[in-house]
């Protein structure tokens, strides 16, 4: 309700890569019939992405994270079932372990043709997938205010989701190489703070009036006020291979937003830090994931991520209870304990090579593993 408490509804978008079930290679030109069957089954909850080898799903508006997770499980299962009819599999990973971007074709739609002509090689390399989480905040001023404060926590969310250590057959040494590719795009990264929604609109208008962008949908920041819905859209995360990891991170985002709103009702707020400082943690999350900790700028020191998780759980305990997602919040400890998809990918690949498997065979096994994990809905 405008002027009152935000609804804090939840919506989750995920992007998947489509791979050949036998070879593990990306499906550079999947049959149109496959997508048509997905649309017939899922309607507007499924969409094309820029590259033909990608597919996007989005939940309906949910009242809670558990409800959104249930929707997401149905979307994953439906896409997998239909893809199997065409000898394809979806994998929830932000990069493919070995396929090359130069061998992919882009989706022939007017929007994507315009983007391809505008951004050239930068967008042709965009063989990456992400997860976006929308939280319902109907009041424009509140949405901007909470976005400003939420920026501090974006690296914490990224570190929990990393799933892109490989690029074109090589271990990059980064847990989220996706961001390296994404950051070549214009209008990405951590946004500046805005004093009001009107100031934000003036900045958007400056680009629109100059003919640079058509509207705010071309602002691809790590977090943004959605141009289509009354939501605050978090976009920094890799796509999680395990669905329950996605649920835990979505819950943490929702709970932090509620915590910041709760502070506001007490005339308090989270301290704002310069983008250069937030970006240092963003890089640490991109490079190390959970392994080397993040900087607590209040203390002026690096804090191990296991300690940060406990601090975050304590911080949002009241909010998790209110939003009915305490189980998901406590599952953050599992991620911190066993690592993210990126950790499992690197570990499995190294184990296979150590056992004598050739590099190409090990990478193929890795794709099979990702496909299986994408459809593993058990608590792990």
Distances from the Cα of 254 to the Cα of 34, 87, 189, 326, angstroms? 34, 37, 20, 12
Residues recorded for the chain: 380
* C-alpha separations of 314 from 153, 258, 268, 303 in Å: 15, 14, 18, 16
Q: Per mean pLDDT, which range of 116-120, 158-162, 202-206, 274-278 is the poorest?
A: 116-120
- Arithmetic mean of pLDDT, 286-307: 97
**In this structure, how many other beta carbons lie within 10 angstroms of the beta carbon of residue 169?**
13
| Residue 274 maps to a domain | yes
Q: Which of 128, 220, 131 is nearest to 174 (CA)?
A: 128
- Tell me how far CA of residue 34 lies from CA of 39, 86, 105, 259, 265, in angstroms: 9, 7, 16, 42, 49
State yes or no: pLDDT of 38 exceeds 80.
Answer: yes
Q: Is residue 5 part of a domain?
A: no
pLDDT value at position 233?
Answer: 98
Task: Over range 172-196, report the average pLDDT.
Answer: 97
Pairing of strands 188-189, 220-221: parallel
20 φ, ψ (degrees, to nearest 5): -70, 125
Q: What is the pLDDT of residue 86?
A: 98
Whether residue 2 has pLDDT greater than 50: no
- Beta carbons within 10 angstroms of residue 263's beta carbon: 14
Binned at pLDDT 50, 70 and 90, residue 298 comes out as: very high
Residue 380 placed within a domain: no
Q: What is the pLDDT of residue 58?
A: 98
Question: What is the per-residue pLDDT for 138?
Answer: 97
Residue 379 lies in a domain: no
For the cut 80, the answer to whether the pLDDT of residue 104 exceeds it is no
pLDDT digits (tens, 9 = 90+) for 41-60: 999 999 987 789 999 999 99
Domain of 242: which CATH number? 3.30.590.20
356 — pLDDT class (breaks 50, 70, 90):
very high
Q: What are 300-339's pLDDT values in tens digits?
A: 999 999 999 999 999 999 999 999 999 999 999 999 999 9
H or E stretch at 303:
strand 301-303
138: Cβ–Cβ under 8 A, 6 or more apart, which residues?
1, 2, 6, 7, 230
List all residues 6 or more positions away from 116 whose beta carbon is below 8 Å from its beta carbon.
50, 106, 123, 124
Q: What is the dihedral of CA 144, 61, 153, 264, to 10 degrees?
A: 50
pLDDT in tens, 153-168: 999 999 999 999 999 9
Q: Which two tokens stand for residue 380?
A: 């792990």
Domain count, the chain: 1
CA end-to-end span of the chain: 37
CA 126 to the chain's CA centroid: 14
Indicate if the pLDDT at residue 222 is higher than 90.
Answer: yes
Residues above pLDDT 90, as percent of the chain: 89
pLDDT in tens, 225-254: 999 999 999 999 999 999 999 999 999 999
Distance CA 368, CA 365 (A): 5
- For 270, the 3-state DSSP assignment is coil
If pLDDT is split at 50, 70 and 90, which confidence band does 1 have? very low
In angstroms, the Cα distances linking 258 to 28, 161, 253 are: 41, 21, 9
Residue 94 lies in a domain: yes
Q: Is the pLDDT assigned to residue 105 strictly greater than 90?
A: no
Q: What is the pLDDT of residues 55-67, one digit of tens each?
A: 999 999 999 999 9
Sign of torsion over alpha carbons 60, 65, 67, 69: positive
What is the C-alpha radius of gyration for the chain, rounded to an integer number of angstroms?
Answer: 20
Can you give the residue range of the structural domain that contains 82? 10-374
Q: Please provide the DSSP assignment of 188-224 as one string.
A: EESPPP-SSHHHHHHHHHHHHHTTS-SSGGG-EESEE
| DSSP tag of 62 | B
Name the 3-class secondary structure at 232.
Answer: strand
Residue 1 within any structural domain of the chain: no
The answer to whether residue 3 scores a pLDDT higher than 90 is no
119 pLDDT tier (thresholds 50, 70, 90) = confident
Does some domain include residue 243? yes
pLDDT at 299 exceeding the cut of 80: yes
Q: What is the pLDDT of residue 380?
A: 59
> In which band, very low, low, confident or very high, does the pLDDT at 353 lie, cut at 50, 70 and 90?
very high
What is the per-residue pLDDT for 302? Answer: 98
């Amino acid at each position: 309700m405008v002027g009152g408490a935000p609804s804090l509804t939840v919506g989750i978008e995920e992007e998947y890569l489509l791979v050949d079930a036998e070879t593990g290679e990306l499906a550079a030109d999947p049959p149109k019939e496959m997508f048509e069957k997905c649309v017939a089954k899922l309607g507007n909850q499924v969409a094309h992405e820029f590259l033909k080898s990608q597919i996007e799903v989005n939940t309906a508006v949910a009242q809670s994270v558990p409800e959104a997770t249930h929707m997401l499980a149905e979307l994953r299962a439906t896409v997998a079932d239909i893809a199997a009819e065409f000898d394809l599999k979806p994998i929830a990973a932000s990069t493919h372990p070995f396929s090359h971007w130069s061998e992919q074709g882009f989706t022939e739609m007017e929007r994507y043709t315009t983007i391809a002509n505008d951004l050239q090689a930068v967008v042709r390399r965009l063989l990456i997938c992400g997860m976006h989480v929308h939280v319902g905040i109907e009041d424009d001023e509140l949405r901007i205010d909470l976005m400003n404060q939420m920026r501090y926590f974006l690296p914490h969310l990224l570190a929990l989701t990393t799933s892109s250590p490989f690029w074109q057959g090589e271990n990059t040494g980064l847990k989220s190489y996706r961001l390296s590719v994404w950051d070549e795009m214009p209008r990405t990264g951590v946004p500046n703070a805005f004093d009001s929604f009107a100031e934000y609109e003036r900045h958007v208008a400056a680009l629109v009036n100059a003919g640079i962008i058509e509207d705010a949908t071309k602002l691809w920041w790590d977090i943004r006020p959605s141009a289509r819905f009354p939501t605050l859209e978090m976009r920094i995360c890799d796509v999680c291979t395990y669905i329950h990891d996605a649920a835990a991170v979505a819950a943490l985002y929702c709970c932090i937003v509620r915590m910041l709103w709760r502070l506001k009702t007490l005339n308090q707020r989270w301290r704002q830090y310069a983008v250069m400082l937030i970006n240092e943690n963003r890089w640490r999350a991109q490079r190390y994931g959970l392994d080397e900790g993040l900087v607590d700028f209040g203390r002026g020191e690096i804090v191990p991520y296991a300690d940060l998780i406990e601090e975050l759980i304590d911080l949002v305990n009241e909010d998790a209870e209110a939003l009915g997602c305490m189980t998901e919040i406590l599952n953050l400890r599992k991620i911190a304990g066993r690592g993210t998809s990126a950790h499992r990918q690197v570990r499995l690949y190294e184990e296979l090579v150590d056992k004598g498997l050739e590099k190409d065979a090990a990478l193929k096994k890795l794709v099979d593993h990702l496909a299986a994990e994408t459809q593993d809905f058990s608590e792990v």
